[in-house]
Structure 1
């Protein structure tokens, strides 16, 4: 029985020590080198934090081999990694660090000046100062640490948008990732010959699953640099050059590739597993991919960050018309999903309601945030006999006549944009309360154009460029509204609050 993801890596590194684990530009790093450096790094971290375990260690590095190695090193010293977005404004990084209070933050020469504004030097570990050739590690020390780690100990913390302007740190454990990895291997056909085209940022849970595949299957991770998102032709060429067999992407880039008709010019015969999640994949563009890659197995996955990776899946096994939504399918093994109406009763077939999830896939909660945890992870209203925690996703779905779940939308102000889960309330909080640019405003998402719109009341009209510049000092690029619309008065409902529903319903009219 596996109690730690490193149980996988030990078997893999012993079995295929010379196999390439990571391809990072011109560098090909073997499993032997990866595990050797990660163990050395693990011992360095252990000394630096005086043997503390089960605590968060932050990583502030670009997505390169060093980041992957650092995350595994943190596992070796019995702690939880928390990757931070190096492109985020310093204030957002400060907010996360003040909430999570990591024991240490790993960075390099490139980013250390930014972090020194946030943390004292003794809390920062500069990886560029480590001479790995002359470092040694103690296997006895590592074994002693790992013997005290159990499967429900935290593996990682992933930060997601929070309505108060401070991101929430979702805690995910080893057992949940092990369950999902075992389900994936037994259900989807992935095997020990996978070459992963790794495009997702390191702050995504998709990246963490790619780590699982590396450790459990001996998969090779081909790092696709962040900057290539704007150059889809180059991305496809790298997939072709490295004979990539597996991708797990957010649909945004896939839609762009379809719209540019790139698959008609760049052949990808090795690509046999195509997974997508994080937002709705328009079926017209999906059908384009399926037309040119008919040798591939396509899987649509669904799950909020509070569910480890995903909780439902749909292996596309039939033709779908361009106007038919791709189902999110059925529950993964060892996870149960059900749909509740407004009275907390089970919905019938073709009746819309809120999707709820129970099982070992649930996150452990939000780090250092018991109030938010208690509000989101609640007692199952269908079970009054014993404690049973469920997560209410806030997503509206229905079960069709085939027994498949169909995603219909959100019931609140949380959106998925460019693969990130965003609280529109956080954008409003920053603009109105933190930056005090305007006294009143409301953020709305245009799902058709995939853009965030900010409506505001003000005596003066601001240029979009001015808004973007100021908001960009506090929020990452993917959270900055692209359209700003001044109104004499925002619509109100009967209790005097901004009528968000009316704004959403009249969106097309208001932006003309």
Structure 2
């Protein structure tokens, strides 16, 4: 692929380095290409691509999308595994002035059909091999681009593509990320350029990221962590090292790849980190280049975090929190003190330009320590809403009950938190994880924490509630099955009788979802039909 002219066309002022002054994420990429054209942008197994070549491929794809008459600010589906191709597909969509929606190639076709029917993407980008599983469900109105069958020899008028971006503003969508929906059809969370700029600016300023960042990218392309990695590639000319999904079952191989490519930054869901700790792999793999580790998406058991910290004492670890409806995350805690195994890791403080409201059942603001309430978020980090779903948008993105003077939207996360004595925010559990059992308000997350972190009975566990039988049910991972009597004896030493599970299920490995998290919905459905 190639574009017209020997130089990268200038899109914006070379002197403008303030991310908050930019409008379109592509502006960041243009600067990185201009400054580091021959630097490696993506490493994908035994392949790699420079920023210059990635730029050319992205422009070629943008020209193809534009030639189809799609128009701007349209959703474009990307049905690819994580690869060099998925990176330039997403960039090409942004160059065309549209917004990408990455789709999971492992998702059943019926679920993909539901997403397509809801979002109605103008185009789906794939390959002839990967598209086979969904070809029968793609409507005739949706155009298809197969990257391996296109002719890419034609010259591209890069300047014309760039001129067309002048109509895009920072509140236009940059991507859709699908999240689970109670009806079986995922909700399409719409995120805009401005919210990503805010988060990138905060991340670079807080963690002093430079142009030498090498990212070990493990999350699927459907996850918001991947979109952040894509943004860092654009903003700081960071190198993205693709860690294939199948390596999640082989943690030692992942660590080999990290050492091979001198990865210095990780942003992972804790599950894989727990497995690495439980297998004591950091005694073998020293990860001497690693400087910063972020984790988010689920609770990281403190015992396993302490294992990582003990083996990598010079690494900066940060616990981040935020649902998909917030652009990446809204709180963070840089762990700078020793935390005992039995204590949970705080989720910390709000990120810059984000405000956290902890509201009680009467929508009154909680400020005192240890009083629990729902975490609500206000600020530019909020998603624009759910695509083509005004009812669910209106239910989750609501008027700030503390502000009666003018319209101000907040997002209600459904997560229960509290402040500790130092003003740090502590995650306590989900509102929907709190059940009324035997007349008592019972937090299922608390039972999990006691079993896994306090008593250390099992490596991983998932507590769900059987509504029909009124039973607290534990699914757990362990080398051998543990007698129910032993569970009851040990848990009874810490928790009241009504909080002791009544049903126990031993598994070699708990079911995970596409994001690598324990699939709680799967087990909830299993016990409730």
What TM-score do you get using the length of structure 1 for normalisation?
Answer: 0.83
Say if 2:337 is the partner of 1:318.
Answer: yes
For 1:114, which of 118, 133, 152 is the aligned residue?
Answer: 133
In 1, the alpha carbon distance for the partners of 2:337 and 2:131 equals: 51
- The answer to whether the Cα contact below 8 Å between 2:462 and 2:520 also exists between their aligned partners in 1 is no
In 2, the alpha carbon distance for the partners of 1:151 and 1:250 equals: 29
In 1, the alpha carbon distance for the partners of 2:524 and 2:419 equals: 35
Counterpart for residue 393 of structure 2 = 373
- The answer to whether the Cα contact below 8 Å between 2:462 and 2:518 also exists between their aligned partners in 1 is no
- The answer to whether the Cα contact below 8 Å between 1:283 and 1:323 also exists between their aligned partners in 2 is yes
Kindly state the Cα deviation for residue 228 of structure 1 after the two structures are TM-superposed. Answer: 0.4
Deviations 1:412-468, CA, capped at 9 Å, x for gaps? 269xxxxxxxxxxxxxxxxxxxxxxxxxxxxx998454447685979xxxxx9xxxx
In 2, the alpha carbon distance for the partners of 1:332 and 1:481 equals: 32
Counterpart for residue 384 of structure 1 = 404
Say if 2:233 is the partner of 1:214.
Answer: yes
In 1, the alpha carbon distance for the partners of 2:163 and 2:280 equals: 54
Counterpart for residue 196 of structure 2 = 177
Say if 2:265 is the partner of 1:246.
Answer: yes
Kindly state the Cα deviation for residue 482 of structure 1 after the two structures are TM-superposed. Answer: 5.6
Say if 2:387 is the partner of 1:346.
Answer: no
Higher relative contact order (CA 8 A, sep 6+): 1
Counterpart for residue 211 of structure 2 = 192
Q: 1:14 to 1:228 in 2, by over 3 A?
A: same
**After superposition, where does 1:166-315 map in structure 2 within 5 Å?**
166-315=185-334
- The answer to whether the Cα contact below 8 Å between 1:453 and 1:483 also exists between their aligned partners in 2 is yes
SS in 1 for 2:231: helix
- The answer to whether the Cα contact below 8 Å between 2:70 and 2:122 also exists between their aligned partners in 1 is no
In 2, the alpha carbon distance for the partners of 1:355 and 1:384 equals: 19
In 2, the alpha carbon distance for the partners of 1:484 and 1:14 equals: 51
Kindly state the Cα deviation for residue 367 of structure 1 after the two structures are TM-superposed. Answer: 0.2
For 2:151, which of 117, 131, 134 is the aligned residue?
Answer: 131
**After superposition, where does 1:336-485 map in structure 2 within 5 Å?**
336-347=355-366, 348-412=368-432, 447=448, 449-451=460-462, 455=466, 478=519, 481=522
In 2, the alpha carbon distance for the partners of 1:47 and 1:204 equals: 29
In 1, the alpha carbon distance for the partners of 2:137 and 2:520 equals: 22
SS in 2 for 1:314: strand
Q: 1:477 to 1:262 in 2, by over 3 A?
A: closer
Name stretches of at least 5 consecutive residues in structure 1 with no aligned partner: 415-443, 459-463, 465-471, 491-497, 499-512
Q: 1:246 to 1:356 in 2, by over 3 A?
A: same
Deviations 1:11-31, CA, capped at 9 Å, x for gaps? 110000000000001111000
Cα RMSD of the aligned pairs, angstroms, is 2.3
Name stretches of at least 5 consecutive residues in structure 2 with no aligned partner: 1-20, 435-443, 453-459, 470-504, 506-512
Count residues in correspondence: 442
Q: 1:477 to 1:100 in 2, by over 3 A?
A: farther
**After superposition, where does 1:497-512 map in structure 2 within 5 Å?**
none
